[in-house]
Amino acid sequence: MYVDWVGNVSGVPDFCLKQTILFICERGIAEEMKIEERETCDSMPAISTHQVKAAFREAGRAFLLSRGLILVVSILGSLLIPLFNAGSVANCTRGIQASSCVLMWYHWDAIIYTGIAYGGYGFFAPSVAFYPLWPLLMHFGGLLLGGVYPLSYYLAGLLLANFCFFFALVLFYCLLVEDFGPAQARRALFYLALYPYVLYFFVGYSEALFLLLCLAVFLLLRRGRALDWWLAGLLGFLASLTRSTGLVLSVPFFVVYIQRFWLPSRRAQSSFRQKLNAFVPILLIPAGILVYMVYLGYVKGNPLIAESFEWTYWHRHFTPIWDSFLPVLKSLMKGPFFSFGSVRDGIDLLFTLLPIVALFLGWKRLPLHYSLFALSVMLFSLSFSLDTTDSLTSQPRYMASAFPIIVVFALWGEHRRFNRVYLALAGAVLLAYTLMFINHIWIA
């Protein structure tokens, strides 16, 4: 029956689009059989008070473990290990403003975000490639902390990043407990909290805010009430003001919309007005990027100046996905294999391929919109790689926002051996990355 419907969709003459909708319907019907055991056709049940309390409790445990490890290793490392290219350990006796112990995470993008938060995009011209919502929040946080540059804005970034990450863990648990059960949700929290690139959810980058917004969108889509579609669109708008990758939230939004309103058993249960009310908010998601372009056009005189600097200064531009891998592979083959650059390229390649392989092997165990969201994040990130020999630089960090990969790992963690290996290796790499980061050694 659904085949006839897809074949007669008004205004959809394109064969590929029809096949895409057909695939969504096929997966949707299979998922619908599971969903209808515990929900009405209109919306998912609200999360209970008990589940919310459990979410805060479990999130608190995972958060304290992760942040405690990072803090302890950072402090001990800064006191005992000579700073990179400095030949001496950190001096923590010069007061809070000048102390290298306080500023141990003040590197790379944290410096740029702090500069934007203090002085706007005039601080450093190529910084327009960094989307505005995160430095705007840092700006107001810095003012509340005294407005002293760079300390107030830098500390605001640290506090906000960890605040966002804690609530991202809370939402992550709430999202997973209904779909996968409390045991899987709890395991996923610890897997995420110890994932090696979770360091960037600590150091004042925009990743924590972006993850929080993505999880909130998924929760709202899951509940699916009339107002939830608009709230999901609004948070998607904010996500695309945080990172351009926020655009891919349109994919899970569209998939859930099709499954909720256009599957054969549901089409007649909603009015045209309800369908329209749920669909229109998807337009808010790309609007975040458009609003930023309008701002740049007004302030800088060029709405495409961010893309221009991405290409000319940051060396990122749209490229076929295979071109993202070829420079690294060629560099590794030419060697020397154990040089610092080769080791770094090898690690980038490993942690770029790992999520891809995990999704390839585990996508059938996830809801369809989870899998397509993770795939979209990967494709989007890999389509804008560096045009240098280390073309996969930062790709593992970008893919850390594809949280369904953590869900796949958590499902595999039902096997005790995998669980032990994951926790041991992920924790060890996280600690190593922390030591490298505070010593100003590039990771991702």
**pLDDT number for residue 31:** 57
Residue 306 confidence (pLDDT):
96
**In the predicted model, what is the mean pLDDT of residues 3-7?**
36
Flag whether 279 is in a domain.
yes
Residue 11 has pLDDT above 90, yes or no: no
Given pLDDT bands bounded at 50, 70 and 90, which one contains residue 19? low
What tokens appear for 350 in the block? 């490993």
Is residue 75 included in any domain, yes or no? yes
Query: Residues 337, 308: one domain?
Result: no
Binned at pLDDT 50, 70 and 90, residue 173 comes out as very high
pLDDT tens across 240-256, in order?
A: 999 999 999 999 999 99
65 and 169 assigned to the same domain: yes
Q: Specify the number of domains making up the chain.
A: 3
Q: Residue 39: its pLDDT value, please?
A: 42
Highest mean pLDDT among 28-32, 83-87, 343-347: 343-347
- Domain holding 229, by residue range, is 224-314
> Which of 280, 314, 348 corresponds to the end of one domain?
314
- Same domain, residue pair 81 and 102: yes
- pLDDT number for residue 440: 86
Are 164 and 244 within one domain? no
Residue 351 lies in a domain: yes
Q: Are residues 70 and 186 in the same domain?
A: yes
Give the residue with greater pLDDT, 37 vs 320.
320
Percent of the chain scored above 70 by pLDDT?
85
Same domain, 100 and 125: yes
Residue 40's pLDDT is: 38
> Based on the domain organization, do 233 and 349 belong to the same domain?
no
Residue 261 sits in the same domain as residue 130: no
- State which of 281, 314, 347 marks the end of a domain: 314
Q: How far apart are CA 64 and CA 33, in angstroms?
A: 38
Q: Would you say residue 386 lies in a domain?
A: yes
Q: What integer pLDDT is reported at residue 37 of this predicted model?
A: 43
State whether 152 and 102 are in the same domain: yes
Residue 15 lies in a domain: no
- Same-domain status, 246 and 199: no
Q: What is the mean pLDDT of the chain?
A: 88
Q: What's the distance, CA 255 to chain centroid?
A: 19
Last residue of a domain, one of 213, 239, 274: 213
Is pLDDT at 406 greater than 90 in this prediction?
yes
Over range 205-218, report the average pLDDT.
Answer: 98
Residue 297: inside a domain, yes or no? Answer: yes
Flag whether 58 is in a domain.
yes
Which one, of 218, 229, 255, 223, lies nearest residue 27 by Cα?
255
pLDDT, position 336: 81
- pTM higher than the cut 0.85: yes
Please tell me the predicted confidence (pLDDT) of residue 94. 56
Q: What is the pLDDT of residues 130-158, one digit of tens each?
A: 999 999 999 999 999 999 999 999 999 99
What share of the chain in percent tops pLDDT 90?
A: 73
- Cα dist. 385→131, 326, 328, 347, 378 in Å? 17, 11, 11, 16, 11
Same domain for 283 and 140: no
Q: How far is CA 317 from CA 126, 136, 307, 431, in A?
A: 14, 25, 8, 32
Q: What is the mean pLDDT of residues 365-376?
A: 98
pLDDT of residue 80: 82
pLDDT at 36: 47
CA distance 267 to 79: 64
The pLDDT of residue 24 is 56
Model confidence at 335, in pLDDT bands (50, 70, 90)?
confident
The predicted structure's pLDDT at residue 341: 85
Rounded CA-CA distance 173/50 in Å is 12
Report the distance separating Cα 194 and Cα 409, nearest Å. Answer: 12
In the predicted model, what is the mean pLDDT of residues 190-214?
Answer: 97
The pLDDT of residue 12 is above 70 = no
Residue 376 covered by a domain: yes
Same-domain pairing of 62 and 93 = yes
